Amino acid sequence: MTIDLLTLKRNKSDLERKKISSSQSLYDYVKQFYDDDIDVYESFWILLLNINYETIGYAKISQGGVTSCVVDVKIIAKYVVDSLASAVILVHNHPSGNLKASEQDINITKKVSVAIKNFDCQLLDHIIVGGNGGYLSFADEGLL
């Protein structure tokens, strides 16, 4: 029987490192995740940041239908641990263009925030991107 040891190492990435300093800079950065399907499917992404709030990674967590998608907090926690992230930002779109946060949006935000605190990671923001442009920042609206 052999045992493989896990190692920690830095992997080279083509991800543009960007310091997130405001909801507007965040919105400008995450627009790149969405293509022509922004008006069709709801998709949920996470942005992973280091201690200086610089981007170190991102992941698409889920893609659903026109009005919703399933978000598994365990998967988000895995990315937090694997990347050694110090902060996370949640991002999803509303194909309808409605920028109002639903009760489900607020609930998943709270669940993720509580879960990642166990890994000394903080939730900085959750933004909703509208299918017809614009965004809502939970941090700006006092919803965190």
Per-residue pLDDT averaged across 52-70, rounded?
Answer: 92
pTM of the model: 0.88
pLDDT of residue 38: 86
pLDDT of residue 12: 55
pLDDT of residue 102: 94
User: Contact, 58 vs 15, CB < 8 A?
Assistant: yes
Query: What are the extents of the domains in the chain?
Result: 23-137
Separation of alpha carbons 55 and 1, rounded Å = 40
Per-residue pLDDT averaged across 12-30, rounded?
Answer: 83
Q: Which residue has the higher pLDDT, 122 or 41?
A: 122
| 2 pLDDT higher than 60 | no
Summarised one tens digit per residue, pLDDT across range 82-135 is 999 999 999 999 998 899 999 999 999 999 999 999 999 999 999 999 877 799
Separation of alpha carbons 123 and 115, rounded Å = 10
| 57 pLDDT higher than 80 | yes
**% of the chain with per-residue pLDDT over 70:** 90
Q: Which CATH superfamily is domain 23-137 in?
A: Cytidine Deaminase, domain 2 (3.40.140.10)
Q: Which of 5-14, 27-36, 135-144 has the highest mean pLDDT?
A: 135-144
Strands 87-94 and 135-137: unpaired
- Dihedral class, residue 8 (left if φ above 0, else alpha if ψ from -120 to 50, else beta): beta
pLDDT of residue 13: 59
